[in-house]
Amino acid sequence: MGETPRPALSDVEWVGEHHEAHGQLLVRGSSLDEIITKATEALVTRMPSLGQAGLRVRPGWWCVATCECRRALAVSNHPGWHYRRARSDEAGSWYGAEVRFGLLPRRSHGRAM
């Protein structure tokens, strides 16, 4: 019996439907600047009317695994894979961030309203 292959992911994955999610995006990148750039591009592409969004970035090492619970669930919208924090020396781990976005507060003369 072989090991289950790891799912192939894009550099930016929308993960809002994952029960383990603390953000809306899971972004692969080698630096915070690259992660923020990719997250911002994904937001503008998918929701151009969102305008300026504030990002909460949770960087670190991550790994993914094919979902084993999906077979037992009777829901088709359950994710096909799950993710979790990992150690840098863990097999299959990669650097990136979980990203949560929200609207920035409106400002009037430099102060939040």
> Among 20-29, 40-49, 62-71, 103-112, where is mean pLDDT lowest?
103-112
Using CA atoms, how far apart are residues 85 and 47, in angstroms rounded to an integer? 28
Strand partners of residue 96: 28, 60
Domain ranges of the chain: 12-104
Residue 45: the pLDDT is: 86
Using CA atoms, how far apart are residues 85 and 21, in angstroms rounded to an integer? 11
- Which tens digit of pLDDT belongs to each residue from 68-84? 775 665 566 778 888 99
φ and ψ at residue 110, rounded to 5 degrees? 85, 0
- Which tens digit of pLDDT belongs to each residue from 84-109? 999 999 999 999 999 988 766 655 55
Q: State mean pLDDT over 7-18.
A: 87
Which of 71, 81, 59, 107 lies closest to 9, judged by CA?
81
